[in-house]
Amino acid sequence: MAPAIVWFRNDLRLDDNPALMTAARSGAPLIALYVLDDDSAGQWRMGDASRWWLHHSLSSLADDLAQHGVPLVLRRGRAEFALEEVIAETGTCAAYWNRLYEPWAMRRDNEIKTSLRGRGLTVESFNGSLLFEPAHMRNRQGETFKVFSPFWRACLAAGGPQAPSPAPAKLDAAPAPASDTLDEWGLLPKKPDWARGLRDAWRPGEASARACLSAFAKNHALDYKLARDDIAGQGASRLSPHLHFGEISPRRVWAEIMQSAGEAGLPYLRELGWREFFHHLLVSYPEMPERALDRRFDDFPWRDDPSALEAWRRGRTGYPLVDAAMRELWLTGFMYNRARMVAASFLVKHLLLPWQEGARWFWDTLVDADLANNSGNWQWIAGCGADAAPYFRVFNPVLQGAKFDPEGVYVRRFVPELAGLESRWIHRPWEAPAHVLAAAGVTLGETYPRPIVDHAAARALAAFEEMRASSADSA
Ligand code: FAD
């Protein structure tokens, strides 16, 4: 029997993988293929932190497939050419994959599907990474939901997603064509080795994703609603990179949380709902990563200030919570959601720098960088997206710090030069008396920056801009 290709993409797992399951059931011997297609991704080629993750995730998938006797074939370049080559080399009669929802990938995959089918191959694609297929989740007008709450109600009314299916018990391997090696792809940093913090913080791969979910379901799913905002704590699941790379399916997460926590797990599942919401939006609004969904923001007078942008990127704004967040990102490739909101709000509302600049930096530095979630959340924070926070809502980094990191545990961890400061001043060192700063070894402007912008000014600017937008609206 002629072989079938299982084209792995952001579904780097064996469990609940409909493309793999269908290929295995077809009875054809399998070729497991991954293509690194930077050309088609263009400006959205994976950032450096994602490439680090990809290396380890592919290595883990290759090990898991090898246990079934199936080698993972690696090819680099435009996916259509890579597939053509493998098909020509092996006489493949069928190709199966799970769908991606990035605009560039949807365009590419549709063309590939049409072309292969035109040549008589069996080609099938599946939903392997969302709870619901975007085309099936519509509002009463038959359109994509633009407001989260009714969207989520509709998801719940649909009775939850399909149950996940286990990994196939048995896979038959076809003779494998030639493969690149992972090392040839150079996904890991060379000099300097900036990935030490990532290595300490993460274990990519399916087994680790399953362990992470089980530990969260057992220990934290019930108190998630309260614990998730403790910036220094462990109350959130840290599943986002595993979900992005498809090392675990959202259907598996749903099933396990429901099994362990029942209805009490719904606040957690609601967050998966946001992931879902932004993916559905991206399918309908492919311009979302670059352009505000609220068109009034097309002419927004963003500032151009490279040194302020650099201070934000490097965690040197003089606002300890923002700086801790940005340094955590640089060190570990991650930030908790609350820290992301504060740091992102600071960029757009205090510094008045374009949200796209922030999204770009996150794209390069997050291990969970995800086009839908990243651009959707940045637009939400900037107040220019679907169902976004109002523009005048400014996260106050001092109050947020006092509320969600009251003892300064998080700030001390990532901004060590402030570690000796009393908790009372840790989120506003510029207000601390001179003797307190001296006792903590802090010299503002030398050991730690003075605030690069005044919080009160940020609020005034925001209010002004909101007024401007609404008067333009009614003109
Ligand atoms: P948990 O709190 O345990 O949530 C479980 C899962 O739900 C997450 O893994 C994630 O898949 C999903 N989720 C949670 N919150 C959100 C949210 N607000 N939007 C969409 N999905 C959510 N998430 C990414 O996966 N990739 C990104 O590139 C990304 N960029 C962001 C940029 C900004 C400015 C902000 C404010 C948020 C961003 N998020 C992004 C969303 C969120 O911060 C992360 O998903 C979350 O912090 C991941 O940690 P966790 O897995 O412990 O989340």
3-state secondary structure 312-333: HHHCCCCCHHHHHHHHHHHHHC
Q: How far is CA 146 from CA 60, 140, 223, 285, in A?
A: 38, 12, 29, 11
Q: pLDDT tens-digit profile of 272-313?
A: 999 999 999 999 999 999 999 998 888 888 999 999 999 999
Q: pLDDT tens-digit profile of 332-363?
A: 999 999 999 999 999 999 999 999 999 999 99
pLDDT, greater one: 190 or 287 = 287
Residue 475 confidence (pLDDT) above 60: no
Residue 365's Cβ-count burial label (10 Å; 0-12, 13-18, 19+) is buried
Residue 472 confidence (pLDDT) above 70: no
Rounded Cα–Cα distance for residues 205 and 55 (Å): 10
pLDDT band at 317 (very low <50, low <70, confident <90, very high): very high
> What residues does 94 pair with on adjacent strands?
4, 122
Question: Which position among 271, 330, 430, 466 bears the catalytic label?
Answer: 271
The answer to which of 10-14, 154-158, 204-208, 369-373 has the lowest mean pLDDT is: 154-158
Question: Which position among 7, 97, 202, 355 bears the catalytic label?
Answer: 355
Residue 473 confidence (pLDDT) above 80: no
The answer to which of 147-151, 202-206, 343-347, 453-457 has the lowest mean pLDDT is: 453-457
pLDDT for residue 467: 47
pLDDT band at 5 (very low <50, low <70, confident <90, very high): very high
Look up residue 210 and give its two tokens: 């399953």
pLDDT band at 126 (very low <50, low <70, confident <90, very high): very high
pLDDT band at 471 (very low <50, low <70, confident <90, very high): very low
- Cis before 192 (ω within 30): yes
pLDDT for residue 349: 92
Residue 298 DSSP one-character state: G
pLDDT for residue 394: 86
Residue 474 confidence (pLDDT) above 50: no
Residue 432 confidence (pLDDT) above 60: yes
Question: Which alpha helices (H) appear in 202-265, and where do they start and end?
Answer: 206-219, 224-227, 240-244, 250-261
pLDDT for residue 463: 55
pLDDT, greater one: 95 or 456 = 95
Question: Which position among 53, 104, 202, 378 bears the catalytic label?
Answer: 378
Which of 275, 282, 363 should be mutated for ligand 1, with most atoms under 8 A from CB? 275
Q: Which atom of ligand 1 lies closest to the CA of 343? A: 34
Rounded Cα–Cα distance for residues 384 and 363 (Å): 19
How far does the centroid of ligand 1 lie from the alpha carbon of residue 373, in Å? Answer: 7
416-446 burial code (b ≥16 CB/10 A, e <16): ebbeebeeebbbbbeebeeebbeebebeeee
Q: How far is CA 249 from CA 6, 24, 138, 229, 409, in A?
A: 17, 19, 22, 24, 33
Residue 226 confidence (pLDDT) above 90: no
Active-site residue flag, 254: no
* pTM, rounded to two decimals: 0.96
pLDDT for residue 119: 94
Mean pLDDT value across the chain: 94
Active-site residue flag, 152: no
Residue 465 confidence (pLDDT) above 80: no
Residue 469 confidence (pLDDT) above 70: no
Q: Which atom of ligand 1 lies closest to the CA of 340? A: 36
The answer to which of 24-33, 448-457, 463-472 has the lowest mean pLDDT is: 463-472
Structural domains present in the chain: 4-128 (3.40.50.620), 130-164+206-284 (1.25.40.80), 295-474 (1.10.579.10)
Mean pLDDT value of segment 318-335: 98
Mean pLDDT value of segment 173-188: 97
How far does the centroid of ligand 1 lie from the alpha carbon of residue 333, in Å? Answer: 13
Q: Are 252 and 16 in contact (CB under 8 A)?
A: yes
Determine if ligand 1 sits within 6 Å of the CB of residue 364.
no
How far does the centroid of ligand 1 lie from the alpha carbon of residue 230, in Å? Answer: 15
